[in-house]
Each structure stands twice: as structure tokens, then as C-alpha cells.
Amino acid sequence: MKTLPQISIIAPLYNESDSFPHLVERLNTLMDNLSLRIEVVLVDDGSRDNTPVLMRQLALLDDRYHCVFLSRNHGHQLALTAGIASARASEALFIIDGDLQDPPELLPDFYKELCDGNDVVYAVRRKRKENIVKKTAYYLFYRLLKSISYVEIPLDSGDFALISRRVADVLIQMPEESRYLRGMRSWVGFKQKGFEYERDERIAGESKYSFKLLFGLAYNGIFNFSEFPIKFMTRTGALSILISLIYFITVVIKKLFFTEVIEGFTALLFVVILFSGVQLLALGIIGEYVLRIFFQSKNRPLFIIKEEIVNRAYVGRDAV
């Protein structure tokens, strides 16, 4: 008798009690209609509402659901990492957001591409439902990152993807503390293909990604997958020296041939502001790298699993 392929659906949740019933309804419909063995790995990222309660009730009633509870809020990228590490699928992992902006119904289309020999099938957003400010910020960031990154990171692609087991295993082995999974996924290599889709609006509740968190994610993308910040400081330093030399030569020529020297206060103020700004910018960029080295050197676990329910049974887990 032929064994059906097994796929894990990974969905991190943080205060998603409003959208939870809709998520479960759509996942159940999907699993009932597909001839695949599917487990759903729900990861509670330290929710403060009754999301953990709803997860426990579901996992104890339906053994298709594998629920992981983190000890606190670790952030979206680490919650996804916990889900990937906990998944038991032998073939592939389907990564979605718990707010249903990533439609789980696309799994058959993604799986078809995987069967055609691709190890990563990543989603490319045709249209966003966010406000104009966020749309513009996303648009500019993806194009900036693509232009400066040493890894080919696809435009307008998020974490929504279907990845093979071997890609998942490599991602688990990568110990970065400041994670940018879509960049790590691109760095891994193997055969990858984009799949265009139109991203839905949130089914309920509000986005948990504030501008602060989005900037943090953007920083991880830029500093983890680009040499541009350091090279930018080198070029800025060289440009500053050049401006200083031009200014110095101008002063000397005026002194020797025109007996006029540019008067001091304005010129001095310009030079002080210019070089102070350059130095502070350089320190800030160096500080970003030092901060990442500092946190990585502690070698702490990326996340801590408080409890886990697999096949309707509680399972203890160590920190990972």
C-alpha cells in the first residue's frame, strides 16, 4: 500500500483568538479535501489572550493538530523557527501566517510545483491590502535590499512558502539569533520558484507587526545579507576626506594668491557638523554589527518551548 506524502503546515500565533476559529475552519476544510497526510503545527508566541486555551482544546480533540507553546513572546521569526524545528513531516513544510493573509488553500498549487522538482516554492505578492504608507515602505525596502544584498532575495516575497524537508533541516542548523528567514531561505539555495498570489486582508483583529518591529526585521535583512553598510561608511569617509582636501586647497590658494582667507566661524561650523555626523553614523553602523555579535556570542537558546501537545498528549521539550 502506497504511503501518502506527509506535509506540516506551520502557523505562528500571537493574540489571534479572534481569527482562530476561522483559521481552524479553513484548515479543516483543506485537510478534509486533500489526499495528503497533513499535520498542523500551531506555535503560540507568548499570547496574552485566550489563544493558548483555544489551542489546547483543539489539540486534545484533533490529533492532526500539533501545538507548541513558547515560554514568552520570542517574535515572529523565532516562532516560525520553533514551528519548523517541531514539525514531523517527512516531505515538506508549508509556512503561513495565522491571520489568514496567506491563504492555506494554495497548498495544492504549491505542492504541484514541489513535485516538479523545486525545493522551495515561495509566494510573490501581486497586491497588498495595507495602507499606502506600508505599501510604499515595503516596495522601497524590497528593492533596496535586492540592490545591496549579496544573496538573490526575490522581490515582494515574504515567509509564505512551501519548503522541502532538506531545506528545513538546513534552516534548523543555522544558529543566527537575529533571523531573517526569507533571506536565509534564499541563501540555502537548491531549486526555487516563485508563485504569484494576491494577499488577503486580515480575517480579524489587528496586525501585530508595528513599525518598530518592521524596522527591526528590515535591519536584520540589511545587516545579515549585505556588506553595504560597512562599504557605505568607507566610501563616506573617503568622500569626507576629499571634501576636506578640496576645502584646504581652496583656503591655501586664496591665502597665497588672493590674500583672502575664508572667514572662520561659518567654515568651522560646517566642518564640525560634517565630521561629527559622519563619525556618529559610522559608530551607529559599527554598533549594529557589534550588537549582533554580542547577542550571538552569548549562545543562548533561540527559543524555549514551555509545553507541547502531540497526538493529544503533552510532551516535554528542552530549549532549542
The answer to whether residues 247 and 201 belong to one domain is no
The answer to whether residues 112 and 162 belong to one domain is yes
The answer to whether residues 37 and 155 belong to one domain is yes
Distance CA 36, CA 129 (A): 31
The answer to whether residues 165 and 232 belong to one domain is no
Q: Within a domain: residue 2?
A: no
The answer to whether residues 18 and 101 belong to one domain is yes
Question: Cβ contacts of residue 237 below 8 Å, gap of 6+?
Answer: 278, 282
The answer to whether residues 212 and 275 belong to one domain is no
Distance CA 81, CA 175 (A): 10
How many domains does one find in the chain? 2
What pLDDT does 10 receive?
A: 92
What is the spatial order of strands in the sheet that 192-198 belongs to?
A: 192-198, 120-127, 157-164, 92-95, 6-13, 37-44, 65-70, 305-310, 313-315
Number of other CB atoms surrounding residue 8 within 10 Å? 24
What pLDDT does 93 receive?
A: 93
Q: What is the pTM for the complete model shown?
A: 0.73
Strands (E), 138-226: 157-164, 192-198
Provide the CATH number for the domain around residue 87.
Answer: 3.90.550.10
What pLDDT does 42 receive?
A: 92
Of 140, 319, 164, give the one whose Cα is nearest residue 214.
Answer: 140
The answer to whether residues 187 and 237 belong to one domain is no
Coil, strand or helix at 14: coil
The answer to whether residues 96 and 234 belong to one domain is no
Q: Within a domain: residue 254?
A: yes
Distance CA 18, CA 15 (A): 8
In order along the chain (320 residues), what is the average pLDDT of each group of 10 residues? 70 87 88 86 88 88 88 86 85 86 86 87 75 70 72 78 89 83 83 80 62 67 72 76 74 69 62 73 79 77 83 61
What pLDDT does 314 receive?
A: 65
The answer to whether residues 125 and 242 belong to one domain is no
**Contact between residue 286 and residue 232 where contact means Cβ atoms under 8 Å apart:** no
The answer to whether residues 279 and 181 belong to one domain is no
**Contact between residue 195 and residue 124 where contact means Cβ atoms under 8 Å apart:** yes
Grid cell for residue 24? 481552524
Grid cell for residue 210? 508595528
Distance CA 74, CA 68 (A): 13
Q: Within a domain: residue 1?
A: no
Judged by phi (left if over 0) then psi (alpha if -120 to 50, else beta), residue 199 lies in: beta
The answer to whether residues 307 and 249 belong to one domain is no
Distance CA 212, CA 236 (A): 27
The answer to whether residues 116 and 264 belong to one domain is no
CA distances from 288 to 56, 64, 151, 296 (A): 39, 42, 20, 12
Residue range(s) defining the domain that contains residue 251: 228-297
Distance CA 256, CA 261 (A): 9
**Contact between residue 184 and residue 95 where contact means Cβ atoms under 8 Å apart:** no
Distance CA 60, CA 55 (A): 9
**Contact between residue 81 and residue 121 where contact means Cβ atoms under 8 Å apart:** no
